[in-house]
Structure 1
Amino acid sequence: MQNEAAEPTAKGIIPTIRQSFGDLFRWQIRTEIIEENEYGETTVRYEWQNPPPLVNPISLFAQLSASNWLFFVVGFIAWTADAFDFHALSIQTVKLAKYYKTNNSKITEAITLTLLLRSVGAAFFGLAGDKYGRKWPMVVNMIVLGLLQIATIYTVTFNQFLAVRSLFGLFMGGVYGNAVAMALENCPVNARGLMSGIMQQGYSFGYVLAACANLGVGGATETWKTVFWIAAGISIAVGLIRCCFPESKQFIEARKAGKKAKAPSAFWAETKQMLRLEWKMCIYCIILMTWFNFYSHTSQDSYTTFMLQGKELNNPQASRASILMKTGACVGGCVIGYLSQWVGRRRAMVGAALISAVLIPAWILPQGERSLSASGFFMQFFVQGAWGVIPIHLNELSPPAFRSSFPGLTYQIGNMISSPSAQIVNEISEMVKVTAPSGNRVKAYGPVMGIATAIIALGIAVTAAVGPEKRGRRFETARVAGMVAPSDVESNGVAEKTSIEHDEMDEKKDQKV
């Protein structure tokens, strides 16, 4: 029996918003079907198709080959090391404030500068990853990050500290795009939701490791340096390990497909063409990632400080609660990322964001380590659950030849816009006082974080509800940007088609019935 016919994909911003919002409440998927007759003529029609059945995750794991797992694991540990480096600062704000004889909001200026400059690194290393491969840009990233962690340890003044952390942000920004592209681009299509959820939780796992290191070294002021030494060792080790493994298979095959015709400056010309054709998608993804980065940094970066100063816990108690909170994030990201393959990317994000908004009172009102650990676990289950969909969602929305630069750049520009989030939370919290159960007047971290997170969660739900979705998009055959196939080179050596045009044609062929 033939599926029900569907209207074509809407064109224009307002029609797309209406169509996307309506599709959110329909279980079936609007699918483009390309049919070709015996004469090579093609016709396009649209129909509603049932989503793929929910597959046992064990069988999804089994679909990945040894090389798929190799690339995924290397990408995951690179993202984990990147997160450890970042959170080595955020979870030790109180120690660093004492060491540099300043307040918490001043220390969070370093977080702001790091996030602000990550977009520059994302642009540079993301484009390098699309042109030269995933391997060597990542190697440089990780080794330099480790060296900058060591340089941070030897800063004497607060201004030196801020300068080093600014430089750190430049190199930190290049990790995400290359790591995600390398980890996910060779995964089987129906396993990508699950693997995306696991991949994104490298961020949470890095936080857990940093919190464990903080717990292990104790609460003395000087111990922050030990955590930074550990972070430096992990980053440098990941860079050296990456040297020992080959380039991404997908990138090598894509380069071979176009190696016979490489026009000068073709890569930069296609980058400009991509921005000209896909500027609306770029802006949408930047808005979405701005919301998401506010979401995570507002609900996480000051949480340890909230428990130490707002709930009056000691360092071991706050560290244990942070570890359990991020354990919930790891679990939630994997579970909801996996479910997104069945329920859809946007439904998964909208549902997780709304549930997290409902949980906010239970997240900030309890007292004591056990209650805060439990509420933090479930809150971050849904916060990072929504995040678990992001790696594959950005990869599916991105132009196929730019799957390193597009996700990394939109992610990091969102990071740049949201960079003052931790500083804003600290500034407002220090200006407002609330009464703790002990009777002491403490900084209002709980109310400030709760109100901000509620607004952000609703913003995510609305933005995802009206945006596009390309679940199941096939991009395995995408050519490297700047490359063209030998068959598309005229006798005078000029390419007739760009890789962007090729990818559009190949993607339609992949959807052919």
Structure 2
Amino acid sequence: MPKVNINEVVNEGEFNRFHIGLLICSCFIIIFDMFDLVIYGSVVPILMKEWSISPVQVGAIGSYGFFGMMLGAIFFGVMADKFGRRNILILSVVLFSIFTFLCAFAPGPLMFSIFRFIAGVGIGGVLPNVIASLTDYAPKHMHNMMVSIVMCAFSLGGILAAFIGIYFIPLMGWKSVYWVAVLALLLIPMMVKYFHDSPAMLLMKGRTEELRFVLSKVNDKVSLTTEMEFVTDIVKEPGSPVAALFKNKRTLGTVMIWIAFFMCLLMINGVSTWLPNLMFSAGYALGSSLSFMIVLNIGAIVGTLILGGLADKFGVKKVLVPMYIMAAVSLTLLGFKNNMIILYLLVFITGACTMGAQNISYSFVSQYYPPLMRSTAIGFASGIGRIGGIIGPTFGGILVSLNLSTQMNFLSFALPGIFAAVAFSFVPLKLAYHQKIKKEIDIA
């Protein structure tokens, strides 16, 4: 009986209609994912007046969503590697859609906070499974580019939230923006069609007919008959996928990845929160200070796409380390007086080398670990990173309260970029998973 290596079938496939459908579906999920997260900012002024809540309460309610995301990324990442990515991804979408929708019916801040937290858990479970699924089925030469395109959908979700808030709130009130969230449930049939569990899991569980079906879609140049026997060079490691993060010489890489994610998201969230204020304090007009945020996000989109192409060509690590160093340099230079053209250029580079590099780092993690623990790895890296993201705005607030110079403020935000670069430089690339395994394991 002829043998077919499932990994080679996927890696050698060409970008086709299946990948386009998977990409489009992933982008829509991420757009709704980001929309549900950021729409809160649009209704804050109204909620403060309607419910008579203080700025401290507003901040606490916002934090509940981020804590939910952290827990959801870790929990659903682990569950996906145990029970399958598609079901967990659908559950995540259902959670964030329904509970964001229910926010419109919250009678007060307590129930609103509870709904926000549960919606955050669902939001946290989305990214690890979307990225893992893309990596499972993307052609080898397009792993990073496909992830890059999907990560740009985060910015689109933020833009969509802003436009919907501007149009719907004056027309139908603040509750109307939360009604939009339920539309994400319409994506479920599309998710059932284009999302599948990893090829290794399908083979391990004996779901060979489903495996044959999806592989024929992924690589339509290969004829897969019932007489063929599927094999893989991926070995299921004993124990839990969480423990496996620290086995087979992965401990150093796992710890360094977590440090890099923590530092980078601290830097990104801190800069995103405080950039307009810092520029205004440095003597720039408020209007131009706010425009820096637009340039920052444009830089993130352009940078993500460019870095994705470079990562596919040269390798992710070779791109990430210099990008984090460039982010630190550009942030440091922002602390000095420059003309507006140079300032906008520095802000653009900052967006490309912080948000853009962070987006690519998710792709790195998805390829660094074996498929049967991929969602767990991304979930934990994302969860640890969320902690840095939560600390980032507070870190900026402490800096501002110390009345430091503008140069010292930006230098302080630049230092995490250096730490992230150093951490990623210590991540070893030669692991047991990446070495060629001579013995093929027949799981079926």
Fold shared, TM-score > 0.5 on shorter chain: yes
| Partner Cα distance (1:257, 1:213) in 2 | 45
- Look up the match of 1:176: 127
The percent identity for this pair of structures is 17
Q: Give the number of aligned pairs.
A: 399
Give the conservation status (yes or no) of the 8 Å contact 1:84–1:210: yes
Deviations 1:145-199 (A, max 9, x none): 1222223333344444333322222222111111101122211212223223223
Seen in structure 2, the aligned counterparts of structure 1 residues 403 and 100 have a Cα distance that, compared at 3 Å, is: same
Q: Bigger radius of gyration, 1 or 2? A: 1
| Partner Cα distance (1:504, 1:123) in 2 | 24
| Partner Cα distance (2:57, 2:411) in 1 | 22
Deviations 1:314-360 (A, max 9, x none): 7xx88766444322211101101211233332231122222222222
| Partner Cα distance (2:347, 2:50) in 1 | 28
Query: How far off its partner does 1:130 sit?
Result: 1.9
Within the candidate set 98, 114, 120, 1:147 is matched to 98
Query: How far off its partner does 1:411 sit?
Result: 1.3
**Code of the aligned partner of 1:259:** G
1:329-344 equivalences in 2 (<5 Å): 329-344=300-315
| Partner Cα distance (2:276, 2:69) in 1 | 23
Provide TM-score, normalisation by structure 2.
Answer: 0.74
**Code of the aligned partner of 2:118:** L
Deviations 1:62-112 (A, max 9, x none): 931221222233223222321222222356666655555455554333343
- Look up the match of 2:258: 286
Give the conservation status (yes or no) of the 8 Å contact 1:104–1:426: no
Query: How far off its partner does 1:452 sit?
Result: 4.0
1:302-451 equivalences in 2 (<5 Å): 302-303=274-275, 313=286, 322-360=293-331, 363=334, 376-426=347-397, 429=400, 431=401, 450-451=410-411
Within the candidate set 181, 191, 197, 1:242 is matched to 191
Q: 2:112 matched to 1:161? A: yes
| Partner Cα distance (1:318, 1:155) in 2 | 35
Mean Cα deviation higher: 160-169 or 284-293? 160-169
- Look up the match of 2:215: none
Say which SS state the counterpart of residue 266 (structure 2) adopts.
Answer: helix
Seen in structure 2, the aligned counterparts of structure 1 residues 369 and 152 have a Cα distance that, compared at 3 Å, is: farther
| Partner Cα distance (1:380, 1:452) in 2 | 17
Gaps of 5+ in 1: 1-59, 435-443, 474-500
Gaps of 5+ in 2: 1-10, 209-235
Seen in structure 2, the aligned counterparts of structure 1 residues 211 and 415 have a Cα distance that, compared at 3 Å, is: same
Query: How far off its partner does 1:380 sit?
Result: 0.9
Query: How far off its partner does 1:447 sit?
Result: 7.1
Give the conservation status (yes or no) of the 8 Å contact 1:201–1:384: no
**Code of the aligned partner of 2:198:** F
Seen in structure 2, the aligned counterparts of structure 1 residues 212 and 507 have a Cα distance that, compared at 3 Å, is: farther
Give the conservation status (yes or no) of the 8 Å contact 1:196–1:390: no
Q: 2:409 matched to 1:454? A: no
Give the conservation status (yes or no) of the 8 Å contact 1:149–1:228: yes
- Look up the match of 1:300: 272
Seen in structure 2, the aligned counterparts of structure 1 residues 294 and 273 have a Cα distance that, compared at 3 Å, is: closer
Within the candidate set 183, 186, 200, 2:137 is matched to 186
Say which SS state the counterpart of residue 106 (structure 2) adopts.
Answer: coil
Give the conservation status (yes or no) of the 8 Å contact 2:273–2:393: yes
Within the candidate set 271, 276, 283, 2:241 is matched to 271
| Partner Cα distance (1:377, 1:98) in 2 | 36
Seen in structure 2, the aligned counterparts of structure 1 residues 460 and 322 have a Cα distance that, compared at 3 Å, is: same
| Partner Cα distance (1:373, 1:287) in 2 | 29
Give the conservation status (yes or no) of the 8 Å contact 1:112–1:423: no
Richer in helix (by share) = 2
**Code of the aligned partner of 2:241:** T
Seen in structure 2, the aligned counterparts of structure 1 residues 210 and 327 have a Cα distance that, compared at 3 Å, is: farther
Say which SS state the counterpart of residue 269 (structure 1) adopts.
Answer: coil
**Code of the aligned partner of 2:203:** K
Deviations 1:358-396 (A, max 9, x none): 222665778999998665433212212212321221012
Seen in structure 2, the aligned counterparts of structure 1 residues 234 and 464 have a Cα distance that, compared at 3 Å, is: farther
Indicate the RMSD between aligned Cα atoms, in angstroms.
Answer: 4.1
Seen in structure 2, the aligned counterparts of structure 1 residues 147 and 395 have a Cα distance that, compared at 3 Å, is: same
Give the conservation status (yes or no) of the 8 Å contact 2:366–2:374: yes
**Code of the aligned partner of 2:267:** Y
| Partner Cα distance (1:98, 1:308) in 2 | 27
**Code of the aligned partner of 2:73:** A
Give the conservation status (yes or no) of the 8 Å contact 2:335–2:408: no
Within the candidate set 192, 198, 201, 1:251 is matched to 198
| Partner Cα distance (1:410, 1:359) in 2 | 25
Query: How far off its partner does 1:464 sit?
Result: 1.5
| Partner Cα distance (2:408, 2:37) in 1 | 23
Q: 2:33 matched to 1:82? A: yes
Deviations 1:446-470 (A, max 9, x none): 7786344212111111111222236
Say which SS state the counterpart of residue 63 (structure 1) adopts.
Answer: coil
Deviations 1:290-333 (A, max 9, x none): 1122122112245567789996647xx88766444322211101
Deviations 1:114-167 (A, max 9, x none): 333323222332233223322222222112212222233333444443333222
